[in-house]
Structure 1
Amino acid sequence: MKNKLRRMLKTTETEPKKSPSSTDQERATTAEQAAWLAKGADILTFEEEWIVRLDHRYPLTAQHGHRSFEAVFESLQLPHPPLALDVPLEQIIFFDTETTGLKGTGTTIFLLGFARFEKGELLMRQYFLPHPHYEAALYHHFLLDIGEDVRFVTYNGKSFDWPQIKTRHVFVRERVPRLPKVGHLDLLHVCRRLFKGMYDSYRLTRMEERIGFERTDDLPGFLAPMHYFQYVEHQNPDIMSGVLEHHLHDCLTLVSLYDECNRLVTHRQDASSQIRENIAIWLADLGIHDQSVKHFGQADELTAQGWLRQGMLYKKLRQYEDAKICFEKSGTYEGFIELAKWAEHIAKQPAVAYDYTERAKNMLADHQLLASRRERLVAELDHRSLRLQRKCRR
């Protein structure tokens, strides 16, 4: 696709056609801009360059899937650590891009945009690059609009969209020097945490099932570069209609998906035991212990790993009796190792600790582990058994 774009933009000596005159170019540009203006777009200029900006505004009562934008507006103001964003509401933008490829300095961002709450409504704004050599205008207006300090809410944007912007900005930084202070909430990582073990794929379109949104006649994302190349050749805005709609839905899905995740984390929406367990483990990893305990407590049942992690949480909180119960219910070799530690160091019962150690060794034989890890664990358990035997003889 990159080679195709280069060929389309390159004028070779073998081409019989004469270079268009400046008057012809001006007429073509005027017609192209007029076509965009007829679609309700704005034409933004910067030095000798221009781009297209399209705005859509939605009242808070409007919905994307079964989520109203008013519900998201409320969620954004809840101070819950995993999903809280520490800036005023107007500095939070739900952001996505469309590019000519997946990586590399030759990859061009030809469409970027965001949804943002302002003036009592949701603004959806898109910036389209009509010609690849107009990138300075694209980044000038985009960066001017988002401000000096923003928080992006994206889907895989932390490792792709924003790094790609920084890469492309290098080529125009002499003309557009400023990059804002950026924070990031990547909903891909949030969904993998919340819905672990429940999906075989975490693509954004799969997550749309959770918000009740189904796309109809959607242009697949992998076709977007081809449409852009066709646009560069023909300058017909109709070519980009499907791409623009696909991108718009991507951004609006981020808005509703944020509310879905926030409601689960803040207990404002019923969740399955699996989700409660996943949230509890996530919060424990973040050191938010009180909320982790609450989510564990709301799960009707836990997996073996869930009981183990709850036990580790209680151990950290020095609630040893609660931890003991959880380790027993886990039925794992890790749980029996923890029980052996409890019996030896807390209960001061070396015989009981020895029994737990032997049970851990027996269970370990049935687990598929890396050879190096198995050898290390067996050595540790053998050492523990010998020490406990000596204690029992005293």
Structure 2
Amino acid sequence: MSLKKKLLRMKTHLPDEPVPEEKQSLSGEEKALKALGFTPFYLEQCRSYRRKVLYEWEDKEMYTRMERLRNFWEQNDSAHPLSFQYPVENLLFFDTETTGLSTGAGTMIFLIGYARVKKDGIEVTQHFLPGPEQEPAFLGGFLEDFGEEDIIVSYNGKSFDWPQVRSRHAFLRRELPNLPETGHIDLLHAARRFWKEELPSCRLAVVEDKKLGGGRTDDTPGSLAPLLYFEYMESNNPAPLKGIMDHHDQDVRTLVQLYALIAEKIIGSASHITAKEHEAAAHWWEGLKELEKAEHRWLAAEQSAAVSSPRRIYRLAVNKRKQKKLREAARLLEELRTSRFPLPEAMEELAKYYEHTEKNIDEAFAVTEEALRLPMPEKMKARLRKRQERLLRKGAVHEQ
């Protein structure tokens, strides 16, 4: 049975007769929430609030960009952590606001929000918790709009937001449908791979400002969320929460732009990719054993850099060796051998090539001797000396 049907079954005991007149008149709190665009959602005797807003695309090409990304992942059948196989509408760009930054029992989620990509814009849905006793309706409203084919896209959500949701759902599991098991893309890890050494911090606000050009004005910082929510709990006046609600709304829309930017840098289709970003993508593809994709990115990194890097050439040579492109790898290693700044690890790779592939013991010995003249850690020097001694013995045997 679908989650929506389960929720409908749970609401069947609600009376069909009109609500008494005294309950039809809106309280000041309800009027204020309505003014903020929130309408009630009922589950059994509980009530939460939600609002749904469709924002027209500022970037008219965004939907097309997302479709191109989906086509790439689908055609390449990639296991990359940012890949997805479902329609782009199934991406749930997700964030929460809570009463604290810990994952302990005292921390409460009071705002769940997510953006979905539509052809005509970004649709943002937010669920608001008016009080702890209304939590079943709060989570139930979210579950009504969330299914197993959806994929969560968050920013540190794997470590913080989603464990909080799972914990609260587990506490109320007898009152709610099952929590769907879905894919989860965490953009914080991707942002760190690309910009950890470049940016002062990888907080979403910093990444948005420096990489999306979206520095906000008149923004209420998320750090004020706990204070403003506790004030609301005392006053029942949600108006001061407007800034936090708008900040949260902007956060989930930012995740759409950030996903598109990072994914395009990963697959190499972004309009501007620095050499460092090409390198980060190459490392990532290599970690996934997708060596051909990594090779293209090492080449792109070298071509886009202002100055050639021996380290990049060495990594490209190792990549080619792993692909069994041994002669191409050796050619690159020979370039490094005669360069101004030869690398001892590159010389070691070249010695292995001459010994095992070309069966040229003399040349392997010569390369090892050259390598030992270079500065290097003692551990590597000891390893090369052992190789030198072994090649010397091997050469002596061949001469007999």
TM-score normalized by the length of structure 1: 0.83
1:291 deviates by: 2.0
1:162 deviates by: 1.1
Q: Distance in 2 between matches of 1:336 and 1:130?
A: 66
Q: Structure 2 counterpart of 1:180, which letter? A: P
Q: Distance in 1 between matches of 2:37 and 2:330?
A: 66
Q: Structure 2 counterpart of 1:291, which letter? A: K
In structure 1, the residue matched to 2:193 is 193
Q: Structure 1 counterpart of 2:344, which letter? A: Y
Q: Structure 2 counterpart of 1:54, which letter? A: R
1:84 deviates by: 2.4
Q: Distance in 2 between matches of 1:105 and 1:356?
A: 62
Q: Distance in 1 between matches of 2:111 and 2:48?
A: 10
- Do the aligned partners of 1:105 and 1:168 also contact (CA within 8 Å) in 2? no
Q: Give structure 1 stretches of 5+ with no counterpart.
A: 1-24, 368-373
Alignment of 1:114-133 (within 5 A): 114-118=114-118, 120-133=120-133
Q: Distance in 1 between matches of 2:176 and 2:26?
A: 24
Change (3 A) 1:188 1:326: farther
Q: Report the more deviating stretch, 120-129 or 251-260.
A: 120-129
Q: Distance in 1 between matches of 2:175 and 2:139?
A: 10
Q: For 1:29-68, what per-residue CA distance to the aligned partner results, in whole angstroms no more than 9, with x for missing partners?
A: 8331222113221111112221111211022x324xxx85
- Do the aligned partners of 1:75 and 1:263 also contact (CA within 8 Å) in 2? no
In structure 1, the residue matched to 2:300 is 298
- Do the aligned partners of 2:151 and 2:182 also contact (CA within 8 Å) in 1? yes
Change (3 A) 1:173 1:196: same
Q: Distance in 1 between matches of 2:193 and 2:106?
A: 33
1:271 deviates by: 1.5
Q: Distance in 2 between matches of 1:384 and 1:155?
A: 48
User: Aligned with 1:149: secondary structure?
Assistant: coil
Q: Structure 1 counterpart of 2:296, which letter? A: K
1:261 deviates by: 1.6
The count of residues paired between Structure 1 and Structure 2 equals 359
Q: Distance in 2 between matches of 1:383 and 1:335?
A: 17
Aligned-pair identity in percent equals: 35
1:182 deviates by: 1.0
- Do the aligned partners of 1:72 and 1:255 also contact (CA within 8 Å) in 2? no
- 1:314 aligned to 2:320? yes
Residue number among 29, 48, 58 corresponding to 1:62 in the alignment: 58
1:361 deviates by: 4.5
Q: Report the more deviating stretch, 303-312 or 179-188.
A: 303-312
Q: Distance in 1 between matches of 2:257 and 2:46?
A: 35
- The runs of 4+ residues in structure 1 deviating greater than 6 Å are 25-29
Change (3 A) 1:119 1:267: closer
In structure 2, the residue matched to 1:8 is none
Change (3 A) 1:197 1:359: farther
1:193 deviates by: 2.5
User: Aligned with 2:258: secondary structure?
Assistant: helix
User: Aligned with 1:254: secondary structure?
Assistant: helix
1:204 deviates by: 1.1
- 1:351 aligned to 2:362? yes
Q: Structure 1 counterpart of 2:216, which letter? A: R
Q: Structure 2 counterpart of 1:278, which letter? A: A
Q: For 1:188-221, what per-residue CA distance to the aligned partner results, in whole angstroms no more than 9, with x for missing partners?
A: 1222223453323211122212222111122222
Q: Give structure 2 stretches of 5+ with no counterpart.
A: 1-21
1:378 deviates by: 4.7
- Do the aligned partners of 2:70 and 2:87 also contact (CA within 8 Å) in 1? no
Q: Distance in 2 between matches of 1:391 and 1:110?
A: 72
Change (3 A) 1:164 1:69: same
Alignment of 1:19-58 (within 5 A): 30-58=27-55
In structure 2, the residue matched to 1:152 is 152
In structure 1, the residue matched to 2:71 is 78
The CA RMSD over aligned residues, in Å, is: 2.6
In structure 1, the residue matched to 2:92 is 93
Change (3 A) 1:204 1:143: same
Change (3 A) 1:327 1:33: farther
